[in-house]
Amino acid sequence: MLVDKDRVPSDTSRVSLAEEWEVRWWCDRFACTEVALRRAVDNAGQSAAEVERHLREAGKEALKNTGED
């Protein structure tokens, strides 16, 4: 039996939030919190590339707002 950390979603081009282990996998993949991941999926859809782009842009915006860019 596979341990959660060894599991990989069957389709890594689409972000699925259906299973808790998948949410953790995507959070690890994008180095983000669950809240940020869910917000990105809500805004960008399930495309992994679009979610990643959204998270990157959100990170840049956060730095800009703190004056650390």
Q: What's the rounded mean pLDDT across residues 16-23?
A: 96
The Cα–Cα gap between 4 and 35 comes to 20
Within 10 angstroms of residue 22's Cβ, the number of other Cβ atoms is: 17
Helix (H) or strand (E) holding 28: helix 20-30
Binned at pLDDT 50, 70 and 90, residue 50 comes out as: very high
| Average pLDDT for the chain | 89
